[in-house]
């Protein structure tokens, strides 16, 4: 369980830092982000929206509890990253431009995998409550 927890936090921490920095650039509508969105043909008002959505997703994953919200956050991050990869492919970018997106996709997947491994481990250690069927005799 300890090894699983360490691996979860390593992958989740790297993922959060990597996606968090990119999200801040989206929120600030950095010149690089604006140039990319123009090349992709997307409206610029999506930049801050996507940045805030990713930051909220990262926050949801890092905060303890709220497992259902975490599921949605993981899904949203995967949709964002796969959508970004597809967008770059569809405008004919060379493979070396979109291939690096496999790293954050892998980090999200590994974080998700170890999150569920931790949940299963925690569920396995919860003692089963068996009803007391003995009769009280006084």
Q: Which tens digit of pLDDT belongs to each residue from 16-38? A: 999 999 999 999 999 999 999 99
Q: What is the mean pLDDT of residues 108-116?
A: 97
**Which tokens sit at 136?**
């009280």
Q: How confident is the model at residue 1 (pLDDT cuts 50, 70, 90)?
A: confident
pLDDT greater than 80 at residue 81: yes
pLDDT greater than 60 at residue 126: no
Number of domains in the chain: 1
pLDDT greater than 80 at residue 39: yes
Residue 20 falls within a domain, yes or no?
Answer: yes
Full residue range of the structural domain in which residue 68 is found: 2-124
Other C-beta atoms closer than 10 Å to the C-beta of 5 total 13
Other C-beta atoms closer than 10 Å to the C-beta of 14 total 15
Residue 134 falls within a domain, yes or no?
Answer: no
**Which tokens sit at 78?**
């995967």
């Amino acid at each position: 369980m300890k090894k699983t927890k360490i691996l979860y936090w390593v992958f989740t921490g790297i993922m959060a830092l990597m996606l968090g920095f990119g999200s801040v650039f989206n929120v600030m509508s950095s010149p690089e982000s604006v140039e990319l969105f123009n090349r992709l043909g997307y409206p610029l008002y999506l930049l801050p929206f996507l940045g805030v959505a990713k930051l909220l997703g990262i926050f949801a994953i890092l905060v303890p509890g709220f497992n259902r919200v975490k599921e949605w956050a993981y899904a949203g991050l995967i949709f964002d990253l796969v959508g970004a990869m597809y967008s770059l492919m569809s405008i004919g970018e060379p493979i070396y431009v979109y291939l690096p997106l496999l790293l954050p996709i892998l980090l999200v997947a590994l974080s998700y995998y170890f999150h569920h491994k931790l949940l299963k481990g925690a569920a396995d250690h919860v003692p089963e409550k068996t009803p007391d069927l003995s009769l009280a005799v006084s």
